[in-house]
């Protein structure tokens, strides 16, 4: 499992996948739609490669579909506790970069 305190940046596609999974478990196509609704295009190969790696790292988990979804072909994913920690760590890292970018040279 990946160290959730790992300071390595997440790629933008991976970060957007994790953002899409913050609220509820989603199947792959719903993740693609959520990411697209936020103005980012994500290919299916990128999505499923990332999901497999995130699953292997313990950042996301495959879960049972809601009872309302009778399509057995769909795989649902949710963030794990480690995934929530990782996405929070990435948000802090991005905030620190933004703070640095806003600093005026020569000011304390």
What SS3 class is residue 64?
A: coil
Query: Is the pLDDT at 107 greater than 90, yes or no?
Result: no
Domain ranges of the chain: 12-102
Please say whether the beta carbons of 79 and 59 come within 8 A.
yes
Q: Pick 12-102's CATH classification: 3.30.70.120, 1.10.10.10, 2.170.190.11, 1.10.40.30.
A: 1.10.10.10
pLDDT tens-digit map of 38-49: 899 999 999 999
Confidence of residue 9 (pLDDT cuts 50, 70, 90): very high
| Closest by CA position to 26, among listed 53, 56, 61 | 61
Please say whether the beta carbons of 61 and 80 come within 8 A.
yes
Give pTM, 2 decimals: 0.85
């Amino acid at each position: 499992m990946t160290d959730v305190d790992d300071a390595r940046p997440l790629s933008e596609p991976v970060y957007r996948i994790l953002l899409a999974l913050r609220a509820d478990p989603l199947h792959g196509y719903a993740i693609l739609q959520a990411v697209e609704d936020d103005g980012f295009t994500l290919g299916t190969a990128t999505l499923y490669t990332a999901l497999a790696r995130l699953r292997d790292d313990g950042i996301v988990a495959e879960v049972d579909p809601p009872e309302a979804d009778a399509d057995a072909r769909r795989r649902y994913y949710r963030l794990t506790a480690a995934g929530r920690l990782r996405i929070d760590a990435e948000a802090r890292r991005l905030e620190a970069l933004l703070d640095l970018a806003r600093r005026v040279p020569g000011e304390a």
